[in-house]
Amino acid sequence: MKILTIAGTRPQLVKVAPVSRELRKHATEVLINTGQHYDYNMAGIFFDELGIPKPDYDLGIGSASHGKQTGDMLTAIEEVIFSEKPDAVLVYGDTNSTLAGALAASKLYIPVIHIEAGLRSFNKKMPEEINRILTDHVSTLLFSPTEIAVQNLKNENITENVVNVGDVMYDAVLYNTSIAEEKYNLAQFGIKEKEYILATIHRADNTDSKEKLTAIFKAFAGLEETIVLPLHPRTKHKISEYGLSSLIEDGSNLQVIEPVSYLEMLLLEKYAKAIVTDSGGVQKEAYFAAVPCLTLRSETEWVETVEAGCNRLVNPLVEDLATIIQAFKPTDYSKPLYGDGQASEKIVKEILKYFG
C-alpha cells in the first residue's frame, strides 16, 4: 500500500512525526513538503529534530495570497499524484496545504484520509474553518480527536468511516517531553520555572488588526512577569508594517525570541506560569502540561479545554486583559480530553483495515 502524505506548516510537521514513524512500519509512505512554511525555524528544524524522513517532493510553494498559494499547491500535488499513483492521500489539520491536498486527490478519485477531522470553530471568517469543512466533505477516512468532533461531522451528515482515535499531538507530547528535558534547559533562555508567561500570537484575526496587536502588547507590558514570546514571522512582519516596533523593543518585560524548536517549546510550555496564545496546538499542549491557558480569540475548536475550566477565551480588546491573565488559576487537569496517547497506532491500524 502506498500513502502520499502532504504537509507544509509547523503544526503539520509536529503531527506527521508520530504518524509517519508508525505508518512506515506497515506501508510505503511518500512525503510531500509543500513548503508553505520555509524558514528553517518554521520547518527545517522540525524535520531535523523530530526525525521526520526527508521529503520525496519539496514543492517550495512558499507564501502568497490564499488563492495563489492553494492553487499552486493544487497544481503541483496533482502532478505528484499522477506520477506516484498512491492508494490514498493523507492530510493533516486545516491549513491551505491540507485543502490543496484534499482537493487534488478527491478530483482524481484518490481516497483522502484526514487527521484532525471534525474540528469546528463555527467562524467562517477563519480561513482554517473553510479548509476544515471542505476537507472533511471530500474525505473518505476521517480521524477525529474527540467525540465532539465526531458529533460535528454527524451534524453535517458525515457518518461513514469516522473514527475517534484521540489526538496525535498528545502522542507527540508523550514521546518528546523527556527528550526535551534532556536536551534543553530554562537557563538558556535566562528564565526560571513558573516565573514567566509564554505567549504565541499568529492568528490572522489578531495579526491583521493593528488595534488588537496594540492591545495585546499593551497588556503584556502591564504584567509583572517576563513574557517570553517566540515571534511568528507573520506577526513580526505585521508589527513592523504597523509601525509598532517600539512595543517589542528591549528594556521591557517582553522577551521576544525567534520561533523555537518543538522540543524547546515543550520545555517552555511545561515550566510557564501561564500561557497566552491564539494557536490551536498550543491550547492543547498547555492542557497536557497542566498550565493555565488564556486564548486570545472569541471562539475555539478545542472546546474541551474551555469546558474543563483550564482554558479561557479572551477578546484581546477587553479593558483589563492583564488582570484577567493574572487572575486565571484553573486546578483540575485530570480528565483525559484527547485520548490515550496511542492515536498514531490506532490511525495506522484503521488505514490497514480499510485498504486491506
Question: Residue 88 or residue 303: which is nearer to ligand UDP going by CB?
Answer: 303
Helix intervals (H) in 184-279: 204-207, 210-221, 233-241, 262-270
Closest separation in Å from C-beta 32 to ligand UDP: 19
Q: What is the DSSP-derived secondary structure letter of residue 59?
A: -
Q: 37, 66, 114, 202: which one is catalytic?
A: 202
3-state SS, 153-195, equals HHHCCCCCCEEECCCHHHHHHHHHHHHHHHHCCHHHHCCCCCC
DSSP states of 110-170: --EEEETTT---S-TTSHHHHHHHHHHHT-SEEEESSHHHHHHHHHTT--TTEEE---HHH
Question: Residue 81 or residue 180: which is nearer to ligand UDP going by CB?
Answer: 180
281 lies in the site for ligand UDP, by CB under 6 A: yes
CB of 171 closer than 8 Å to CB of 342: yes
CA distance 287 to 310: 7
Closest separation in Å from C-beta 304 to ligand UDP: 15
Binding mask 9-38 for ligand UD1 (x = CB under 6 A): xxx------------------------xxx
280 lies in the site for ligand UDP, by CB under 6 A: yes
CA distances from 30 to 6, 38, 129, 314, 347 (A): 9, 20, 27, 41, 17
Question: Residue 105 or residue 265: which is nearer to ligand UD1 going by CB?
Answer: 265
242 lies in the site for ligand UD1, by CB under 6 A: no
- 202 carries an active-site annotation: yes
Task: Pick one of 69, 96, 139, 200: the residue that binds ligand UDP (CB under 6 A).
Answer: 200
71 lies in the site for ligand UD1, by CB under 6 A: no
315 lies in the site for ligand UD1, by CB under 6 A: no
279 lies in the site for ligand UDP, by CB under 6 A: yes
CA distance 314 to 321: 8
Helix axes 168-183, 10-23, angle to 10 degrees: 100
Closest separation in Å from C-beta 262 to ligand UDP: 4
Handedness of CA 236, 239, 240, 244 (dihedral sign): negative
Question: Residue 14 or residue 30: which is nearer to ligand UDP going by CB?
Answer: 14
Give the cell for residue 288: 497536557
Binding mask 55-94 for ligand UDP (x = CB under 6 A): ----------------------------------------
Closest separation in Å from C-beta 264 to ligand UDP: 7
36 lies in the site for ligand UDP, by CB under 6 A: no
CA distance 254 to 16: 32
132 lies in the site for ligand UD1, by CB under 6 A: no
Reduced to 3 states (helix: H, G, I; strand: E, B; else coil), residue 255 is strand
Which residues are identified as catalytic? Answer: 202
Contacting residues toward ligand UD1, per CB under 6 A: 9-11, 36-39, 42, 63, 94-96, 127-128, 202, 233-234, 237
Contacting residues toward ligand UDP, per CB under 6 A: 10-11, 14, 200, 202, 230, 259-262, 265, 279-282, 285
